[in-house]
Amino acid sequence: RTCDQLRCTACDFRVSFFDDYIWDQSCDYLFFRNNMPELSKLRAKMIKKKGARAYACQCSWRSIAELTDLQIEQQLRWVCGKH
């Protein structure tokens, strides 16, 4: 289970997540920069995958299909936005 209030300290944007989806491999920085947080635009590069979760802010994104410790990924600057 993850925090549902994640915030990116690099772009100061809320991290959105989408259950049962992963990001297409063609996703890039400009795609998220131009389309976050509009779900209607993001859907263009979302692939349905049961049990997975797609995360994104304006500068970083991840597709997670199994239990993963995101704290070991140094390039991610996602922190709890405090509840």
| Structure-token pair, residue 13 | 């944007």
Question: Cα separation of 73 and 81, whole Å?
Answer: 18
Strands 16-23 vs 46-56: parallel, antiparallel or unpaired: antiparallel
Q: Please give the chain's pLDDT, 83 residues, in tens.
A: 567 888 999 999 999 999 999 999 999 999 999 999 999 999 999 999 999 999 999 999 999 888 777 667 667 788 887 76
Domain ranges of the chain: 1-59
Question: Cα separation of 14 and 56, whole Å?
Answer: 8
